[in-house]
A and B are shown apart, each in its own frame.
Chain A
Amino acid sequence: MKEKIDSLLGKTLTVIMGLMVLNVLLQVFARFLRIQVDFTEEVAGFLLIWVGLLGASYATGKGMHLAIDLLPRSKSIEAQKRFNVVINTIVLLFALSVMVIGGFRLVYITLSLNQLSPVLEIPKGYIYLVLPLSGFLIMYYSIVNMKNENPFGE
C-alpha cells in the first residue's frame, strides 16, 4: 500500500516539477520574443502550492523533515518508540485540524463565493483542494510512521 502511494505521489510530483520548469522557461522565452503570455506567473504560483504541500506529504512519508531529535535519541529503544508515537500523533493532529478541516473550510468558502483566479479564472477552491489532499496523505504517513521499530535510525 505505502509503496503504491509513494510511487504514484512521486510520479505526480515529478510531472509537476517538470511543468514548473517548462512554464517559467516559456515565460522567459516569450519575453525575449516579445510574445504576450499572461498566465505563466499565475500558473507558477499554483504549481508551487501543489508541489510544496504534496511534496511535504511525500517528505513526511520518507521521514525527511528536519527535526531536533537529541532528546529521544538519548533514550532507550522502548522510550524511542513511545516518543515516535507521540511525535507522529502531533503531526497527525496538525494535518487533521489545519490541513483537512481548515483546508476544507477554505475550499468551501472560496467555492461557495465563486472566487476566481485573476488571469485564468480558475475557481480558487480547486487550487486550495491540495490542502485537505496533502492533509490526508500526511495523516496516513503519520500512522505508518508510528509503527516504525527503529524510529531514530542507526
Chain B
Amino acid sequence: MEIFEILVLVVSFVVLLTIGVPIAYSIGISAVITMLVSIYPVPAVTTIAQRMATGLESFTLLAIPFFILAGQLMNRGGIASRLIDFAKVMVGMLPGGLAFVNIVACMLFGAISGSAVAAASAIGGFMNSRMEKEGYDKSFSAAVNITSSTTGMIIPPSNILIVYSLASGGASIGALFLAGYLPGILVGLMLMVVAGVFAYRNKYPTSESASISEGFRKMLNALPSLFLLVVVIGGIVAGYFTATEASAIAVLYTFILALLYKEISFKDVPSILLDTVSTTSIVLLLIATSIGMSWVMSYENIPQAVSEALLSVSDNKIIVLLLINVILLIVGIFMDMTPAVLIFTPIFLPVVTELGVHPVHFGIIMVLNLSIGLCTPPVGSVLFVGCSVANVKIEKVIKPLIPLFIAMIVALILVTYIPEISLWLPAIFDL
C-alpha cells in the first residue's frame, strides 16, 4: 500500500524540517527512512548514495555554478550601477519614476544574473537610499525591490528553469528560456501598475530627466552588459551552443567586462571562485538528496498514487491546475524554490501532461508560482535579503507587499490559463 509509505515520507520530512534540520539533509533522511519500509538498510543507504552521486554527474547541471559565478562577477564588476543608469533613462521621467527604475533595473539585473537574491541585494543596495532621499516610503521601496527581483528567475537565463528541465526528465532548456520572457515581463508590468497607483496617490516625484546626450551616453555604458543577454540567449536559441556552454561564455564575458571596468583584478579570482562554490554546493546538495527522494518516490509508486488522488477530485484541467497552484503557493510559503521544484515536478507533471498541459508551460507556471513564495515569511530568501539591504523590519514590509502579491497572483492566473503567453515565443523559434 502506498498510503503507508507516503505517510512515513511526509511525517519524517515535516518533523525533520520543523526541528530545524537543514532542508537538504531532511530530504535525504526521509528518503532513507521511507526506503527502509521495503528493503534492508545496507542496500537502502547504498542506493541513496548512488543516486546522490550519479544525480550530480550531469553536464546540464554545470550551468548552475557557471551562472552563479557570472552573477558574482557582475555583482562585483560594476554592472549593477550601469544598468540602473540605463533604467533611469528609460522610465525615470514617469510619475513615481524611481519605483519604475527600481523595477526595470531589478528585471534587467535579475535577467542577466539569473539570481533574484543577487538582484535584490545589488539593485536594492543602490536604489533604496536614493528613493528614501526623494521622499519615498522605505518599506514601499523595499517591497518593490523584493518582488521585482523575482522576475529574473523567469526571464532567461535562469538556473531554476535548468533545474526544472532536469526534474521534468528533459524539457528543452532553449524552449523554457524563450517561454520565460513574456511571463517575466508581464509580472514586471503588473508590478509597475501597482507601484504607479501607489506613487500617484502619494504624489511621489518624477526624477529630473537627463539631457539627450547624457541619456545616450548612459545607454552606451549599459550596452556591453545588455549584450550578454543577446550572446547567451541568442547562442542557445540559434543552436551555437548548449545552455551549459552558454553559461561558460557568460563567465568569460563578465570576467573580461569586470576586468575592463577595473572593478576586479586577477587576485580576486580565488575568493570569487570559493564564494561561488559555497553558493553552488548548497544548491547541489539539495539537488543530490532530492534526486534520491524522487527516486524513492518512484520506487514506492508515490507519484501515481498522488496523481490518482488528484484526478479523482476532478479531471477538469482548469480545476486541477487551480488545485496545483494553491498547493504550490502554500508550499512556497514554507519552502525554497529549488527543493520545491525538484520534489513536486515529478509528482505534478505527469498529472498535468495527462490533461494536455505542455511541460514547458507547466515549468513556467511552477517557477512563477514559487517566486511569490520567495517573498513571504517564514522562508523567503529574497524577502530577507531585500529587507536587510533596505534596513527595514520584515513586519513593516508585509503591508506594501500585499498589493504587489495580488499583482503577481493575477499574472500567475493569466499565465496558467493562457498557455500562449508562455508557448508563443518557443513556437515562433520552432522549439
Which residues on A are within 8 Å of B, measured CB to CB?
10, 13-14, 16-18, 20-21, 24-25, 27-28, 31, 41, 44-46, 48-49, 51-56, 58-60, 62, 64-72, 83, 86-87, 90-91, 93-94, 97-99, 101-103, 105-106, 109, 127-128, 130-131, 152
Which residues on B are within 8 Å of A, measured CB to CB?
16-25, 28-29, 32, 41-42, 45-50, 52-53, 56-59, 61-62, 65-66, 69, 241, 244-245, 247-249, 251-252, 269-270, 273-274, 276-278, 280-282, 284-288, 334, 336, 378-379, 381
CB of B336 within 8 A of CB of A66, answer yes
Give the complex CA separation of A105 and B284 in angstroms.
Answer: 22
Give the complex CA separation of A54 and B52 in angstroms.
Answer: 13
Least distance between B307 CB and chain A CB atoms (Å): 27
CB of A66 within 8 A of CB of B53, answer no
Report chain B residues within 8 Å CB of A65. Answer: 22-25, 282, 285
CB of B56 within 8 A of CB of A49, answer yes
CB of A49 within 8 A of CB of B53, answer yes
Q: How would you classify the secondary structure of chain A's contact residues: helix, strand, loop or mixed?
A: helix
Pairs across A and B, CB under 8 Å, 28 listed: A14-B270, A14-B274, A14-B277, A18-B273, A24-B62, A24-B66, A27-B248, A28-B249, A44-B62, A51-B277, A51-B281, A52-B287, A53-B56, A55-B285, A56-B24, A56-B281, A59-B282, A60-B22, A64-B282, A71-B19, A87-B20, A87-B22, A94-B25, A102-B45, A105-B49, A106-B49, A109-B46, A131-B53
Give the complex CA separation of A44 and B287 in angstroms.
Answer: 17
Least distance between B340 CB and chain A CB atoms (Å): 12
Report chain B residues within 8 Å CB of A101. Answer: 42, 45-46
When the two chains form the complex, which single residue of B59, B273, B285, B334 contacts A68, counting CB atoms closer than 8 Å? B334
Least distance between B285 CB and chain A CB atoms (Å): 4
Report chain A residues within 8 Å CB of B249. Answer: 28
Give the complex CA separation of A131 and B274 in angstroms.
Answer: 20
Report chain A residues within 8 Å CB of B276. Answer: 17
Give the complex CA separation of A90 and B15 in angstroms.
Answer: 12
Give the complex CA separation of A62 and B277 in angstroms.
Answer: 12
**Known interface pairs A55-B277, A105-B46; 9 further A-B residue pairs with C-beta atoms within 8 A, sorted by A's residue number:** A17-B276, A48-B56, A48-B58, A52-B56, A52-B284, A53-B53, A53-B288, A90-B25, A99-B52
CB of B53 within 8 A of CB of A127, answer yes
Report chain B residues within 8 Å CB of A102. Answer: 42, 45-50
Residue of B nearest to A22 (CB): B248
CB of B277 within 8 A of CB of A53, answer no
Report chain A residues within 8 Å CB of B62. Answer: 20, 24, 44, 48
CB of A28 within 8 A of CB of B59, answer no
Give the complex CA separation of A20 and B252 in angstroms.
Answer: 13
Give the complex CA separation of A22 and B279 in angstroms.
Answer: 20
CB-based closest 10 A-B pairs: A55-B281, A102-B49, A52-B284, A102-B45, A65-B22, A56-B285, A45-B57, A24-B248, A69-B20, A102-B46
